[in-house]
Amino acid sequence: MDSIAINTKKRNEFIDITSQVEKIVKDSKIKDGLCVVFCPHTTAALTINENADPSVKKDIISHLEELVPVGKGFSHSEGNSDAHIKASLLGSSLNVIIEEGNLALGPWQGIYFCEFDGPRNRNIYVKLIGEK
């Protein structure tokens, strides 16, 4: 298993980790298989979405903040229930097919780490299953 260290700077932030995941796949020499990306944090998530236009991630963050605003009067004593809810909505893991040694992402897709309780130091785990 490999890991990717991430240092976030804002409370809500999407960080493109596609190139780090691609490097792990390339270095593994696996030709065909599956790449599992896992976030072991309850106030952060992962998603695959457009990575060509930065306004897309800005729009997603903005809409999530509208749907689940910070300080809405949740009962969780740490004051970060909004982050737990946002992380649950997006999810903690992704599976991406490895085909001919490459991630089988669409031409506009990227893998994002989604911070909802930053700034923090985080780690993402990457597990590859396949044949060389």
Instruction: Look up residue 15 and give its DSSP letter.
Output: E
Kindly report the CATH class assigned to 2-131.
Answer: mainly beta
Structure tokens given for 29: 């020499």
Mean pLDDT, the chain, whole residue set: 95
Position 98 scores a pLDDT of 98
Pairing of strands 109-115, 44-50: antiparallel
pLDDT tens digit sequence for 48-100: 999 999 999 999 999 999 999 987 777 776 778 999 999 999 999 999 999 99
Using DSSP's 3-state secondary structure scheme, residue 41 falls into coil
Going from N- to C-terminal start, the domains of the chain cover 2-131
Q: What is the pLDDT of residue 80?
A: 85
Give long-range contacts, CB 8 A cutoff, 24+ apart: 78-83: 80/43, 80/116, 80/117, 82/116, 83/11, 83/43, 83/44, 83/116, 83/117
